[in-house]
Amino acid sequence: MTVLNSREELEKYIAEQKKLQKTIGFAPTMGALHAGHISLYEAARKENDLVISSIFVNPTQFNNPDDLEKYPRNVKKDIQKLEDSGFVDAVYIPSVEDMYPGETKSKHYDFGGIENEMEGKARPGHFDGVGTVVEELFRQVQPDNAYFGDKDYQQLAVIRKLQQNLDLPLKIHGVPIYREPNGLAMSSRNERLSPEQRKKAAVIYDTLLKVNDWFRVISIPEIYRRVEEIFEKEDGFVLEYFTIADEETLKETDFFYKDRNYRAFIVVFAGEVRLIDNMHLA
């Protein structure tokens, strides 16, 4: 596996691969890699001649400087995980200057309002930061296909809108959520859970499964009431929000229309650890 430590090294590498007419699959990360990330590269491996990863902790998508400072970083360990997977041909590890040649500042995008729903309500400007770094990575790596996990579904929707708005010459792929044996969505944050919390966190996935059973059978207000009731009884877990939204607009719905697709979104605190999950309702 080739490690590319600068934009210049990446440009040279990409030029060589383009001469050979190799198709490129790409999945950007902020490091702290786990099996969920590796599943992106497994998907990319099946559909591309070349698979590229990137590791870059993007400063413009953090609203709180403390969160940026505390974000886990272990590039050496991440590189080893990528190499051990056997799915990745090259990893790009840019500096802040490689990504933001001038001022470290995000662009402003119009994502049609989806950036203002759910996560966007509490994190103004967050998706501008995501869009800025993803656009820059796309322009530098020049992938044919890019892969993102369904766990961050709102982010995936924003990136799809980015590709459409800028007419970027690549295809965006969503990859199913990779789960631990008890159903907990795989996340680097899971490492901060105690063994007991990790075991009990299965309640999040179990709740989504129940919501899927209730879908179109009982009213939306009743579904919300039942979800709130579950977490009121769950000691050590606090429900931040639960919502059922239209998959296209991400707007919360109060009625199920037959011709629309819906997804349930949930955010729960296990102690100080914020866990997110979602599920397509069918």
DSSP per-residue letters across 161-228 = HHHHHHT-SSEEEEEPPPB-TTSPBP-GGGGGS-HHHHHHTHHHHHHHHHHHHHTTTS-HHHHHHHHH
**Cα separation, 81 vs 189, whole angstroms:** 17
Cβ atoms of 150 and 156 closer than 8 Å: yes
If you ran DSSP here, which 8-state letter would residue 252 be given? Answer: B
Place of tokens 């629309």: 260
Closest CA to 266 of 213, 223, 235: 223
For residue 113, which amino acid is it? G
34 carries an active-site annotation: no
Question: Which residues are paired to 124 by β-bridges?
Answer: none
CA distances to 27, 174, 239 from 30, in Å: 10, 17, 26
Provide the token pair at 178: 């990779």
Q: Looking at 37, 108, 126, 173, which residue is catalytic?
A: 37
Q: Which of 98, 81, 93, 90 is nearest to 38 (CA)?
A: 81
Q: Which residues are tagged catalytic?
A: 37
